[in-house]
Amino acid sequence: MRLKLPDSLKLSLPARKVVLLPDAYFFCRAVPIAENATPAEAASQIELALEALSPFPPTQMYHGHFWRPGAKNACVFAAYRKRFTTEQIESWADAEAVLPTFAALLCTPIKRPTTLLLWSEKGLTAVNWDDGNDAPVSVIARELPPEPTETDKVALREAVLQESGAARTVVEPASAPTFDGTARGDEFIFRCDSLSAAFPREQLDVLDVRDKEELAARRRARSRDLLLWRVLLGCFAAIALSIALEVVLIGGGLWQKARTIRVDLQEPGVSKILMAKNLASRIDELSTKRMRPFEMISMVADKKPASVTFVSTTVANLLTLEVEAQASTSSDVDAFRTALKSMPEFESVITDRQRLVNGLTTFRVVVTFKPDAFKPAPTP
């Protein structure tokens, strides 16, 4: 996930630093790379080639290389470490990368055989391509004499072009390459007049000529810092989410409290409405329907055993009959209940309050009739 920083915060960030070294300090060679080589295999081949090309072991040189996956050759450059002073090396500590000046434009799109001429105060560098898909086939760096004249510059230019070869497109910017330290993102951008080259972080690390163990330590520190930065962003996101949830909970509590207050305020009116509705329903039942207490008692009495005696009966509503009864034995109560439950006209049958009094079993039966229990039977 990429985090887009506001402009005010971008302005406060320090500019990134890349050190561009004089090209004359380095010797450059084109190294053939095996077909379909991986970046790791290409790096191993370049390391072996560098040992064979240089009079010094790689540990005594600052070196780097440029290679595109699938390219037939790589451009390798190296310089003897003792050519650099202690002060120069100490100034590299806060740099994102350290590389020769010409290496800043190795990613420039090239479509045909081309010679790129790069002037500096002390000399001229010619970068020669035969195929735009590959790395340069040669890099020629020549120094000017002290206090050079225009004649010296013209002569040097002609000599370098002659050494580079004929039938080439010559590109000669008026200024030297510079690093755009204010640009942000995953790429490092170098500009030279109308030319520009953008390197991803991984490719810039390969171009960096500093000590390889030091660069590996820097990469580990960068990975650790990136992990810590993402953890910090995750913490900020979690805090922001917690605050948002807290606000939602507070808002929900206030809404629920307001809703409860409205319900409490409306409860007396709702109670009156329900009471009026129940009263109206009761009046409608009494006016349009009639109770059938005798039919109810008759239907229930038809199923009682001879030993069961009704003590009292109460009609609770249009469809419910309550009977207080007594029986000689509890088995008669069970038989009575079973007989009632077998009646299709009854919705439910409940027996309760069963107890033994003076040798008799008293109990209550609550019978709920179905709405169509009292409809007349159809005429055959």
> Is 320:369 a contact under the CB 8 Å cutoff?
yes
Angle at 127 between CA 173 and CA 28, to 5 degrees: 140
* pTM for this predicted structure: 0.56
Secondary structure string (H, E, C) spanning 45-109? HHHHHHHHHCCCCHHHEEEEEECCCCCCEEEEEEEEHHHCCHHHHHCCCCCCEEEECHHHHCCCC
Instruction: Give dist(CA 293, CA 315) in Å, integer.
Output: 6
| pLDDT tens-digit readout, 333-377 | 888 889 888 888 888 888 888 888 888 889 999 999 888 877 765
Number of H helices and number of E strands within the chain? 8, 16
The token pair that represents 152 in the structure block: 């010296």
Number of folded domains in the chain? 3
Instruction: Give dist(CA 173, CA 124) in Å, integer.
Output: 12
Helix or strand run (H / E) with residue 370 = none
Q: Which amino acid is at 299?
A: M
* End-of-domain residue from the set 288, 322, 338: 288
Higher pLDDT, 9 or 260: 260
The contacts of residue 369 (CB under 8 Å, 6+ apart) are 296, 299, 319, 320, 321, 345, 346, 347
* End-of-domain residue from the set 240, 269, 288: 288
Which one-letter DSSP state was computed for residue 138? E
Going by pLDDT thresholds of 50, 70 and 90, the confidence category of residue 1 is very low
> Is 191:178 a contact under the CB 8 Å cutoff?
yes
* End-of-domain residue from the set 288, 313, 340: 288
| pLDDT tens-digit readout, 106-158 | 988 887 888 999 998 889 999 998 876 678 888 999 999 988 899 999 999 99
| pLDDT tens-digit readout, 289-348 | 667 788 888 888 888 888 888 888 888 787 888 989 888 888 888 888 898 888 888 888
The contacts of residue 321 (CB under 8 Å, 6+ apart) are 293, 296, 297, 300, 313, 314, 315, 366, 367, 369
Look at residue 192 and tell me whether its pLDDT is greater than 70.
yes
Mark whether 284 and 135 lie in a shared domain.
Answer: no
Q: Count Cβ atoms below 10 Å from residue 40 Cβ, excluding itself.
A: 8
Mark whether 282 and 318 lie in a shared domain.
Answer: no
36 is a domain residue: yes
Instruction: Give dist(CA 177, CA 212) in Å, integer.
Output: 25
1 is a domain residue: no
Going by pLDDT thresholds of 50, 70 and 90, the confidence category of residue 9 is very low
Mark whether 344 and 365 lie in a shared domain.
Answer: yes
> Is 144:153 a contact under the CB 8 Å cutoff?
yes
Look at residue 8 and tell me whether its pLDDT is greater than 60.
no
Closest C-alpha to 127, from 173, 81, 84, 180: 173
Mark whether 196 and 246 lie in a shared domain.
Answer: no
> Is 29:76 a contact under the CB 8 Å cutoff?
yes
What is the domain extent for residue 281? Answer: 228-288
Instruction: Give dist(CA 371, CA 380) in Å, integer.
Output: 22
Look at residue 185 and tell me whether its pLDDT is greater than 80.
no
Angle at 196 between CA 192 and CA 198, to 5 degrees: 135
Q: So what's the pLDDT on residue 13?
A: 55
Residue identified by tokens 């008692």 is 297
Please give the full DSSP string across 300-348, using - where no structure is assigned. Answer: HHTTS-TT-EEEEEEEEETTEEEEEEEESSHHHHHHHHHHHHT-TTEEE
Mark whether 127 and 63 lie in a shared domain.
Answer: yes
Mark whether 147 and 183 lie in a shared domain.
Answer: yes
| pLDDT tens-digit readout, 43-101 | 889 888 888 887 778 888 899 999 988 888 899 999 999 889 999 999 898 888 999 99
| pLDDT tens-digit readout, 23-55 | 999 989 999 998 888 888 988 898 888 888 877
The contacts of residue 299 (CB under 8 Å, 6+ apart) are 343, 345, 369, 373
Going by pLDDT thresholds of 50, 70 and 90, the confidence category of residue 10 is very low
Mark whether 298 and 270 lie in a shared domain.
Answer: no
